[in-house]
Amino acid sequence: MSTDVQARVAIVTGAGRGIGAAIARRLAGDGVAVVVADIDEPEATSVAAEIGGDSIAFGVDITDGGQVAGLANFVAARFGRCDILVNNAAILDATPLAALDMARFRKVQDVNLDGALAVTLALLPLLRQSKAGRILNIASILGVRGARDSVAYSAAKGGIVNLTRALACDLGSDGITANALAPGFIDTRMALLPDGSGHEHETDWFRDIYLKYGRIPLLRPGTPEDVADAARFFCSNDSRYVTGQVLLVDGGVSATF
């Protein structure tokens, strides 16, 4: 793996935990200065302290235009550059269709889709200055296939998939690549059951359907580090001729449908 990611600056949203934190750790391990951005500033601060170096935490609500502008201004003032943007911040939604209303639907789009675009637009001037900027959007397997009780979430993540492709078309002439990862079943806080009884991966239905009957060929849920390893490729110069792509990091589950 090339080491060109060293001495670069990255912003990772939703980096206070889970996949975002794992990506922040992976990039920082390569010498990247990471802005650990999260709505939960204490969690972001904890991750930034853990990874050390030039990394720093920044509390931001990506649905608030003023706060997003503040993030861009902070990065410009402190680092004067942004080479990598990872749009990871998101909320989970499993509202049954019968209970879904437009207010809830709009909230999910505001965070999961509109927020990613808002951050991207705010950081574009710095990414353009980089001449080799990298945008990595975190989508989901539900952005490329359907599932029950996922209308709002699937719509937002499907939007991320095509936002990525459109950005690739618009920004290629600036030397900026735009790609996406679509994780499958990943063992994060998002996998906690609504009733607090544990993780979905620990349930009998998950073990029977996805493990016993091979719906996940690799026979385990993924980890945040599995996603972070794939992210590292898209954030490096090794992916210099790869743009507009969506990589499913799902242990092969998409191959079984």
Active-site residue numbers? Answer: 153
Which residue from 127, 129, 88, 94 is spatially nearest to 111, judged by alpha carbons?
88
Residues 6+ away with beta carbon under 8 Å from 190: 18, 92
Between CA 93 and CA 75 the distance in angstroms is 31
Between CA 225 and CA 54 the distance in angstroms is 21
CB 156 within 8 A of CB 108: yes
DSSP state of 134: E
Which residue from 76, 69, 74 is spatially nearest to 58, judged by alpha carbons?
74
Between CA 178 and CA 29 the distance in angstroms is 22
Per DSSP, helices labelled H in 30-150 are 41-51, 65-78, 102-109, 115-130
CB 234 within 8 A of CB 179: yes
